[in-house]
A = this chain, B = another copy of it.
Amino acid sequence: MNEPIRRSVDVEVRYAETDQMGVVHHANYIVWFEVARTNLCQEIGLHYADIERRGYLLMVTGIEAKYRQGAHYGETVQVTAKIEKLWSRGVRYAYRVEREGELLVTGATQHVWIDRETGKPTRLPADIAAGMKRVAGIRQRARC
């Protein structure tokens, strides 16, 4: 197995994301995870919006996050995503939020693929599945 692809996106803290404690409210990191997931998805060569248009929804089944330091308004953080685990009907992503190299938050989300029509769990079509494997760092044998 190769290493999974890691891809980072800069997120500039929004004033609206702070709370009266003076730091970013903890629920917003979950939204930032999603921003990083969207960003990583582009490594497949498709925007996640296109995957939805083709009839597949990536339903969230679990999330977790650990908070070490808070981000502040006026700061820009780096949110990195990678695929941690991939199976036929789902995927688990892992995330790191850093501020100039300092680790602020780590987390993970777990998902299943849903057929938009039926609302049932499904497998991805071959081309998207192959793209996911590549992003996950899973070496694929030549089909011959």
Contact = CB atoms under 8 A, between A and B. Distances in A.
B67 A64 contact: no
Contacts of A38: 12, 14-15
Q: Is the interface of A mostly helix, strand, loop or mixed?
A: mixed
A21 B57 contact: yes
A65 B67 contact: no
Interface stretch (A26-34, A85-93, A96-104, A128-136): A26-34
A60 to B, nearest CB: 4
Interface of A: 12, 14-16, 18-23, 25-28, 30-31, 34-35, 38, 47-50, 52, 57, 59-67, 72-74
11 contacts: A14-B38, A16-B19, A18-B19, A20-B20, A20-B21, A21-B57, A27-B30, A59-B67, A62-B65, A63-B63, A63-B64
